[in-house]
């Protein structure tokens, strides 16, 4: 299972752009890319909540609901302005698929933009299934986000592995009882590294030589 933001795609530029457009409408300060990267990882609602909390008064629950809808509507028009695939993602995942690995997406990003991004970057053929942060009642770091996905795929958790860039990925994997691979070019990597992921991936070119995939 692969996480999406900060793992397969470097999507922070467009998440930041969208957040800034939203905050600008409200006369708020626009956080820079490094600041926004630290807000990513728990889905759109948390990103918007953190964006407002960092730039002035926190939003009420009702206001947050409205702003998240606006965020998703703006994001829908800015999905791939500055977003890029990390180098060698497609070829390396294709190679795993050829070795017989079944691939799926487990992201905290809402499902609608997830599906669009998979299509925009021609990733759909690689993945058997994708689930977002709103696909089940729970999301990462809850292990059930992973376990529900595996169940739907009729896949054995004992043969599964989670690849992600954040602490939620390492924790969700641990909570699901499966190993994790930390991709270190994403967001919030240091906090994730401190949790002791099972494997470290600095570049996709090294993916097929990691122990779970080698041989
Ligand atoms: O959208 C987010 O905040 C996180 O998404 P991810 O789970 O794909 O990293
Ligand atoms: Mg991520």
CATH code assigned at 164 = 3.40.50.1000
Closest CA to 181 of 116, 110, 96: 96
Clarify whether residues 185 and 95 are in a common domain: yes
**Known catalytic residue at 3:** yes
The answer to the question of residue 102 being in a domain is yes
**What separation in Å is there between the alpha carbon of 97 and the centre of ligand 1?**
23
Number of H helices, E strands in the chain: 9, 7
Q: Which helix (H) or strand (E) holds 185?
A: none
pLDDT of residue 188: 86
Q: Are residues 144 and 93 in the same domain?
A: yes
Residue 171: Cβ-neighbour burial (10 angstroms; 0-12, 13-18, 19+): buried
Query: In ligand 1, which atom is closest to the CA atom of 39?
Result: 3
Domain annotation covers residue 131: yes
The closest alpha carbon to 193, from 158, 209, 169, 160, belongs to: 169
Which residue out of 86, 133, 146 has the highest number of ligand 1 atoms within 8 Å of its CB and is therefore the one to mutate?
133
Q: Is the CB of 41 under 6 A from ligand 1?
A: yes
Co-location of 108 and 42 in the same domain: no
CA of 39 to the centre of ligand 2 (A): 11
Task: Assess whether 185 and 94 both reside in one domain.
Answer: yes
94 and 137 share one domain: yes
Let me know whether 21 and 70 are in one domain.
yes
CB 31 near ligand 1, within 6 Å? no
Residue 62: which CATH number? Answer: 1.10.150
ipTM above 0.90, yes or no: yes
64 within domain boundaries: yes
Q: Would you give the distance in Å from CA 3 to the centre of its chain?
A: 4
Alpha helices in the chain (DSSP H): 12-25, 33-37, 44-53, 61-76, 89-98, 111-120, 143-152, 167-176, 189-194
Identify whether residues 71 and 103 lie together within a single domain: no
Q: Do the domain assignments include residue 115? A: yes
What does the alpha-carbon distance between residue 90 and residue 96 come to, in Å, rounded to a whole number? 10
Please check whether residues 63 and 92 belong to one and the same domain: no
Query: Does this model's pTM top 0.90?
Result: yes
Asked if the peptide bond before residue 141 counts as cis, ω within 30 degrees of 0, the response is: yes
In the chain, how many domains are there?
A: 2
Domain boundary among 59, 76, 93: 76
Instruction: Judge whether 3 lies within some domain.
Output: no
In a domain, 72, yes or no: yes
117 in the same domain as 20: no
- Domain enclosing residue 58, as ranges: 11-76
Last residue of a domain, one of 42, 57, 76: 76
Give the pLDDT of residue 79: 98
* Domain presence at residue 172: yes
Can you give the pLDDT of all 215 residues of the chain as single tens digits?
Answer: 999 999 999 999 999 999 999 999 999 999 999 999 999 999 999 999 999 999 999 999 999 999 999 999 999 999 999 999 999 999 999 999 999 999 999 999 999 999 999 999 999 999 999 999 999 999 999 999 999 999 999 999 999 999 999 999 999 999 999 999 999 999 989 999 999 999 999 999 999 999 999 97
Residues 111 and 145 in one domain: yes
Are 70 and 91 in the same domain? Answer: no
Residue 63 lies in a domain: yes
Question: What is the 27 CA–ligand 2 centroid distance (Å)?
Answer: 29
Determine whether the shortest distance from the Cβ of 110 to ligand 1 is under 6 A: no
Judgement on whether residues 91 and 52 belong to the same structural domain of the protein: no
Q: Are 162 and 145 a contacting pair, CB within 8 Å?
A: no
Closest ligand to 47 CA?
1
């Amino acid at each position: 299972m692969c996480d999406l933001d900060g793992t397969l795609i470097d999507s922070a530029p467009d998440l930041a752009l969208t957040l800034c457009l939203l905050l600008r409408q409200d006369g708020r300060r626009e956080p820079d890319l490094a600041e926004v990267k630290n807000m990513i990882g728990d889905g759109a609602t948390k990103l918007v909540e953190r964006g407002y909390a960092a730039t002035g008064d926190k939003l009420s629950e009702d206001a947050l609901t409205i702003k998240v809808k606006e965020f998703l509507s703006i994001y829908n028009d800015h999905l791939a302005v500055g977003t890029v695939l990390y180098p060698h993602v497609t070829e390396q995942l294709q190679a795993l698929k050829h070795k017989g690995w079944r691939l799926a997406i487990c992201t905290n990003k809402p499902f609608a933009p997830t599906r669009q991004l998979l299509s925009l970057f021609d990733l759909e053929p690689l993945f058997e299934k994708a689930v977002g942060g709103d696909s089940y009642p729970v999301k990462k770091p809850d292990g059930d986000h992973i376990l529900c996905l595996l169940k739907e795929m009729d896949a054995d958790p004992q043969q599964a592995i989670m690849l992600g860039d954040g602490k939620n990925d390492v924790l969700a994997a641990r909570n699901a009882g499966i190993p994790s691979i930390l991709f270190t070019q994403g967001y919030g990597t240091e906090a994730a590294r401190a949790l002791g992921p099972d494997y470290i991936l600095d570049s996709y070119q090294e993916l097929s030589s990691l122990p779970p995939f080698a041989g």
